[in-house]
A and B are shown apart, each in its own frame.
Chain A
């Protein structure tokens, strides 16, 4: 059976992380599981964790007054759920709900932030891993906002 250090450092988000750093961040990690329909977190709540999905499917949702929630992204094996843990004042910007049985690593955000603050080399490494994820989600959001399938680009 794998220990938590192996699980954390084999996850795509931390894959290739320096061994010493890996030991350091593992101190913030624990295994969690969510049943289908169970929420990982709710909009406005304290962003006390980030979740590294080991396997399963998680939907990100926005509540719409008087209507069912709208899902705007699903995350899967190897993905990271939640980026608000790094952005003050550390509140979730949306809901996250497990669609299927989801196993993940929950990283204590206070713990990880402190370790990143204490060791800027680790902090920089974590930021370099986080930035491509943020950028790709920004691009995805741009495409969604543009509603590229909604209107024709060429007049007849």
Chain B
């Protein structure tokens, strides 16, 4: 429960209000993690927030988190400089179904900053490419200026073994790509829904529309995985802040099969 002070090694601005922090891992044996897990980052005297790990789990020298400055804690995190200190607890939670997805085609659907928690899964797939079938990445965001990891998306799109489709909600006349919401990319895909595992992360409304599109296309509920964002506080399943029905998002998730979420997603009580 006690945050360990770790140093910021590097910092890079990604978007207008979004930065990527590289932290020293701390801990005696480094801090190994699984794609989809998160850490609790603590600004001393301000507060603590859950931030997904967004780096390569195969590289243990640093921990990478992409942070959007939206509140008091994340604004302070975004203002950190190299050699500043931040409190760290983690990693926590259940990550993406990297083993269950082996042998299947993968359909990775990310919206906005939701690409950050999915990036470790993409790194893992590319590192073990032979274990997976087709890999399709759908990415949607607000506008061309809001495309996260744009350079990396371009690199991945050049690979012959990854299919990358990017769309934005709206754009000016200089954008040559697709315009429309990310769920609308699903019906146009030529894929085998019965042999596909879908991993989805983004704003919850985007995920709900995406799940509908996936189910309409024939993807089974148990093959759809969502990374849920809830108000995680203790990250240990004790405090109940992130309780979602009978599920504690911090402990049982944040990645959950749609089987467990069906009927809960649209309830405003949660």
Q: Which residues on A are within 8 Å of B, measured CB to CB?
A: 59-61, 68-74, 76, 78, 99, 136, 139-140, 143-144, 146-156
Contacts and interface: CB of A to CB of B under 8 A. Distances in A.
A47 B73 CA distance: 53
Interface in B51-93: 68, 70-74
Contacts of A76: 178, 188
A143 B206 contact: yes
Contact of B188 (A68, A78, A99, A155): A78
Contacts of A153: 203-204, 229
B141 interface: yes
Given A144-B170, A152-B71, A153-B204, 12 more contacts: A61-B173, A71-B171, A71-B172, A71-B173, A74-B179, A140-B183, A143-B209, A148-B203, A148-B205, A149-B141, A151-B70, A156-B73
A58 to B, nearest CB: 10
B77 to A, nearest CB: 10
A15 to B, nearest CB: 14
B169 interface: yes
Given A69-B173, A148-B111, A140 B203 contact: no
A153 B204 CA distance: 8
B178 A74 contact: yes
A149 B146 contact: yes
Nearest to B178: A74
Nearest to A67: B172
21 contacts: A68-B172, A68-B173, A69-B172, A71-B173, A72-B179, A73-B179, A73-B180, A74-B179, A76-B188, A78-B188, A136-B187, A139-B183, A143-B206, A144-B169, A148-B202, A148-B206, A149-B111, A149-B146, A149-B202, A153-B229, A154-B230
B112 A72 contact: no
Contact of A152 (B68, B142, B171, B187): B68
B175 interface: yes
Contacts, number: 87
Among A74, A146, A148, A151, residue most surrounded by chain B Cβ atoms (within 10 Å): A148
B180 A74 contact: yes
A1 B231 CA distance: 61
Contacts of B229: 153-154
B179 A143 contact: no
A76 B180 CA distance: 11
B184 A136 contact: yes
B218 interface: no
B179 A149 contact: no
A156 B173 contact: no
Nearest to B177: A74
A59 B72 CA distance: 40
Nearest to B174: A68
Interface in B193-218: 202-206, 209
A71 B179 contact: yes
Contacts of B72: 156
B142 A149 contact: yes
Contacts of B23: none
Nearest to A143: B181
Contacts of A78: 188
B172 A70 contact: yes
Given A78-B188, A143-B209, A146-B205, A156 B74 contact: yes
